[in-house]
Amino acid sequence: MEDTNTPATPKTVPTPEETPQKKKRSPNWLPDKEEQLAISWLHISEKPEFANNQSGKVFYRKIELDFNSHSKTHYRDFNQIKTRWVSLNTATLKFSAIYNNIERNPPSGTSPEDWLAAAKTAYHQQTKGLTFNSHSAWQKLRYAAKWRSDPRNEISGTATPVPIPSSDSLAPDDDGSDATANGIYTPTTRSASFLSRPIGQKAAKKRRIDSSRADDVVSTATELAAIAKDRLTSANEGNDIRREKNDISKGLLKIEEKKLVLAEKKQIVDEKNQLVAEKNQIVAEKKQVVDEEHQQSETQMNDMKMLSQNKNLEDPEARRVILLIKEKIKNKWLARG
């Protein structure tokens, strides 16, 4: 029979300190955060006095401080910074290798926008369906020496192929290796063949000098191309001006031809008017002659009437006047004859 007086064993209630808490999921890395991570990496890694003679842990601690000093929302610890940088480094290096290869040998008639689209497509194919979403960070990293091709090779006309890292070349959990100050694992990893630690001061100075010379050559070539373009533009403008002058000359010639035609027409009109005036003058002269002849005929008739006037007038003075008039008429006609 069971002993009912035996006290039951109390259940142990875990204290809040003993209750295992579920680890919070870290916030997603948005494009602006990736961009800031790239900026912080460049800021720390491009200073040889900070990059050399230090372990990868110290290097990432400095990146952590720089990143969080610019990030106003989520704090990222050392491990988050390191893990994200390894994957971002791999993706941007691979994408840069693809893009640089297209940029060196661009298809005819394409633009940088076309190269970018082609690089994204090639990246998607080479990574078995992964999409390159770190465009903002890549824009900050693409001109750094590690992500671009050697400018000396570009000047000489040859390009050194940029090795494309595999998707697992920079695994953060690779055993037996420590990350260098540059965020790249030691030569024991598969990435050691193409990634290295930041260079020293002398090497950095030499690289800056070589890069400056290359930039000078590129700048000179750009200036010469701009001068040639300006000359071509000036020549085209000169041709346009000459064409305009020719058009103006043709227009002036047509105007002069019209003026000549108008002058000839005016001359013809003036000649016609002169002929009309002469004709009117002849008509007037003829009319005057007719009028004179008519007047002369009337005078002759009057004279004949006067001559035929009867001399036997009772008034002696009237008879005398008539005789005088008749005498004058006779003398007038005799003088004309």
pLDDT digits (tens, 9 = 90+) for 55-109: 778 888 888 888 888 877 778 888 888 999 999 999 999 999 999 999 999 989 9
Provide DSSP, 61-106.
Answer: HHHHHHHHHH-SS----HHHHHHHHHHHHHHHHHHHHHHHHHHHSP
Domain closes at, from 148, 183, 198: 198
Residue 208 lies in a domain: no
End-to-end CA distance of the chain: give it in Å, rounded.
Answer: 202
d(C-alpha 135, C-alpha 32), whole Å:
10
The number of distinct structural domains making up the chain is: 2
pLDDT > 90: what percent of the chain?
Answer: 24
pLDDT digits (tens, 9 = 90+) for 176-213: 333 333 333 333 333 333 444 455 666 776 777 777 77
Residue 16 lies in a domain: no
pTM over 0.95: no
Buried b (16+ CB within 10 A) or exposed e, 231-267: eeeeeeeeeeeeeeeeeeeeeeeeeeeeeeeeeeeee
Mean pLDDT over 134-152 rounds to 84
How many whole angstroms from its chain centre is CA 259?
46
The interaxial angle of helices 31-45 and 56-70, nearest 10 deg, is: 130
Length of the chain: 337
Write the CA distances from 26 to 33, 80, 81, 206, integer angstroms. 13, 8, 11, 42
Using DSSP's 3-state secondary structure scheme, residue 179 falls into strand
Residue 317 lies in a domain: yes
Residue 111 lies in a domain: yes
Residue 288 lies in a domain: yes
Q: What's the token pair of residue 75?
A: 């704090």
Same-domain pairing of 242 and 131: no
Lowest mean pLDDT among 49-53, 115-119, 129-133, 138-142: 49-53
Please give the residue range of the domain that contains residue 276: 227-336
Residue 8 lies in a domain: no
Cβ–Cβ contacts within 10 Å for residue 281, how many?
10
Mean pLDDT over 267-275 rounds to 91
In whole numbers, what is the pLDDT of the chain averaged over residues? 75
Same-domain pairing of 178 and 276: no
d(C-alpha 134, C-alpha 85), whole Å:
11
Q: What's the token pair of residue 176?
A: 């037996």
Write the CA distances from 112 to 5, 104, 118, 252, integer angstroms. 88, 11, 10, 50
Same-domain pairing of 75 and 148: yes
Write the CA distances from 78 to 29, 71, 195, 258, integer angstroms. 15, 14, 22, 91
Same-domain pairing of 258 and 162: no
CB 113 within 8 A of CB 202: no
Among 23-37, 185-199, 241-255, top mean pLDDT goes to 241-255
